[in-house]
């Protein structure tokens, strides 16, 4: 009888050991006027999770992806984080806003301090403010995209080599952490680029409906190049106003591949530059294969932040694969230590995770808008033609002195 009871207990124990699937929560803006970027994050995350599960998931279970609509702001994201944790999420994916990710990383840091053994990790796939791997760096935050310093450095170095930057630059950016970082990086790279920032503007985020007055100011400054870290409606409407105003200046950007920008700019976009983390053409045959598979699964080629999100989630999966369960559960701290030693091979080159600040060192592509590009965008005859492909090491910038990461004992 006792043996029979022990057998039942053993079977039950095995059931318990396999009853803790890894749950990933996507906390993004999925409704309203700012939802376009959040929906691309969801598309990319779902594609990656499907690949993870097709390869067997983790510990015999499928990895679960659950959506939480943050409704566009830090307060909503904070509420959704609480709901996701209550629902059992161990990993939070977010990226569309540095303000949102700044709130999430701080909330997660405090939660983990209060709940040892139940840690939660932020997988940052797109929020690029310097502070997230600087003064706000923490062990349970990993950034798979690039910060402003990395993006601007690559952009300026390549535009300079291409004789495409000139001597006079106008910096226009959104007035919050990311935009301020981008402006500061543009000024810091003056000597590298051989230019002078003759005027700079910081404006409200996603509140301006008409950028014509800003385009008039840029025209009056008679600059060669406009450097901007704008994204979402602030870049879409800036491109639209630049076309309507007949602005002749070249743009140097990092989010020009957001769907709609080239259509809004029209032929005037030809010759504009972008530093970004994915361009299928830059990946050769492997890049083409990835792009075609993504299109087969989602209905469209990977654009904007989708490539970097997929690679970030596959890096998450690589570390997951190499983390053994403990009593049927995932030890999140052990997974994090594994990720610090993980290298992911992508069509563009290797991505590694820097342990000191949890900043991914990923290849950066600098492309120019051209009719010769292989992949056309926005239903136009233009696309992004790769000009240079920098390795993660070439594109990297040093660990910020403000990062004082406290690691688990």
CA dihedral sign of residues 44, 46, 52, 55: negative
Does residue 409 lie within any of the structural domains? no
Supply the pLDDT for residue 6: 44
Q: Are residues 243 and 378 in the same domain?
A: yes
Going by DSSP bridges, is the β-strand pair 364-370/273-276 parallel, antiparallel, or unpaired? antiparallel
Please say which residue of 318, 343, 361 terminates a domain. 361
Q: Are residues 171 and 251 in the same domain?
A: yes
Residue 300 phi, psi dihedral angles, 5° rounding: -150, 155
Q: Are residues 236 and 88 in the same domain?
A: no
Query: Mean pLDDT over all residues of the chain?
Result: 93
Q: Are residues 20 and 125 in the same domain?
A: yes
Total number of domains constituting the chain: 2
pLDDT > 60? residue 286: yes
Supply the pLDDT for residue 115: 96
Does residue 401 lie within any of the structural domains? no
Q: What is the CATH number of the domain that holds 170?
A: 3.40.50.2300
Supply the pLDDT for residue 206: 86
* Predicted confidence (pLDDT) per residue in 369-382, tens digit: 999 999 999 999 99
Does residue 408 lie within any of the structural domains? no
Integer Cα distance of 312 and 91 in angstroms:
13
Which of 12-26, 66-80, 272-286, 386-400 comes out lowest in average pLDDT? 12-26
Q: Are residues 217 and 186 in the same domain?
A: yes
pLDDT > 80? residue 150: yes
* Model confidence band, residue 409 (pLDDT cutoffs 50, 70, 90): confident
Q: Are residues 355 and 369 in the same domain?
A: no
**357: domain range?**
2-146+285-361
Q: Are residues 266 and 234 in the same domain?
A: yes
What are the Cα distances from residue 43, in Å, to 49, 258, 333, 372, 408? 10, 14, 28, 28, 33
Q: Outline where DSSP puts E strands in 161-310.
A: 168-174, 196-203, 225-227, 250-253, 273-276
Supply the pLDDT for residue 7: 44
Integer Cα distance of 233 and 178 in angstroms:
15
> Do residues 259 and 304 lie in contact, with contact meaning Cβ atoms separated by under 8 Å?
yes
> What is the chain's length?
409
Does residue 133 lie within any of the structural domains? yes
Q: Are residues 51 and 103 in the same domain?
A: yes
Q: Are residues 229 and 329 in the same domain?
A: no
* Model confidence band, residue 19 (pLDDT cutoffs 50, 70, 90): low
Does residue 188 lie within any of the structural domains? yes
Q: pTM of the prediction?
A: 0.92
Does residue 251 lie within any of the structural domains? yes
Average pLDDT of the segment spanning 239-248? 96
Q: Are residues 213 and 302 in the same domain?
A: no
Does residue 400 lie within any of the structural domains? no
Integer Cα distance of 140 and 101 in angstroms:
12
Q: Are residues 26 and 129 in the same domain?
A: yes
Q: Are residues 100 and 194 in the same domain?
A: no
> Do residues 77 and 106 lie in contact, with contact meaning Cβ atoms separated by under 8 Å?
no
pLDDT > 80? residue 10: no
* CA distance from start to end of the chain: 45
What are the Cα distances from residue 141, in Å, to 52, 109, 131? 21, 9, 12
Q: Which of 50, 13, 42, 6 shows the shortest CA–CA distance to 25?
A: 42
């Amino acid at each position: 009888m006792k043996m029979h009871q022990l057998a039942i207990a053993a079977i039950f124990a095995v059931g318990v050991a396999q009853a803790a699937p890894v749950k990933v929560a996507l906390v993004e803006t999925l409704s309203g006027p700012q939802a376009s970027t959040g929906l691309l994050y969801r598309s990319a995350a779902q594609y990656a999770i499907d690949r993870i599960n097709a390869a067997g998931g983790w510990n015999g279970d499928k990895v679960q992806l659950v959506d939480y609509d943050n409704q566009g702001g830090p307060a909503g994201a904070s509420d959704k984080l609480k709901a996701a944790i209550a629902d059992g999420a161990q990993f939070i994916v977010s990226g569309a806003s540095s303000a949102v990710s700044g709130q999430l990383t701080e909330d997660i840091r405090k939660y983990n301090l209060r709940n040892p053994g139940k840690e939660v990790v932020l997988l940052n796939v797109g929020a690029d403010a310097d502070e997230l791997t600087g003064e706000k760096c923490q062990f349970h935050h990993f950034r798979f995209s690039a910060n402003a310093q990395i993006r601007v450095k690559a952009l300026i170095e390549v535009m300079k080599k291409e004789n495409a930057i000139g001597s006079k630059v106008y910096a226009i950016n959104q007035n919050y952490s990311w935009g301020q970082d981008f402006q500061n990086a543009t000024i810091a790279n003056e000597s590298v680029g051989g230019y002078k920032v003759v005027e700079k503007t910081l404006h409200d985020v996603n509140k301006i409906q008409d950028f014509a007055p800003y385009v008039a100011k840029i025209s009056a400054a008679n600059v060669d190049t406009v450097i901007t870290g704008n994204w979402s409606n602030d870049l879409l409407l800036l491109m639209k106003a630049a076309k309507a105003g007949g602005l002749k200046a070249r743009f140097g950007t990092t989010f020009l591949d957001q769907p709609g920008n080239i259509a809004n700019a029209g032929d005037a976009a030809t010759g504009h530059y972008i530093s970004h983390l994915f361009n299928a053409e830059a990946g050769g045959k492997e890049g083409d294969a990835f792009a075609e598979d993504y299109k087969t699964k989602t209905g469209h080629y990977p654009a904007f932040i989708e490539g970097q999100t997929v690679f970030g989630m596959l890096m998450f999966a690589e570390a997951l694969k190499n983390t053994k369960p403990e009593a049927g559960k995932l030890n999140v701290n052990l997974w994090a230590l594994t990720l610090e030693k993980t290298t992911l091979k992508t069509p563009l080159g290797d991505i590694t995770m820097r342990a000191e600040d949890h900043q991914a060192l990923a290849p950066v592509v600098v492309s120019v808008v051209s009719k010769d590009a292989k992949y056309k965008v926005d239903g136009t005859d233009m696309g992004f033609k790769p000009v240079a492909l920098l390795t993660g090491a070439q594109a990297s910038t040093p660990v910020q002195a403000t990062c004082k990461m406290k690691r688990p004992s």
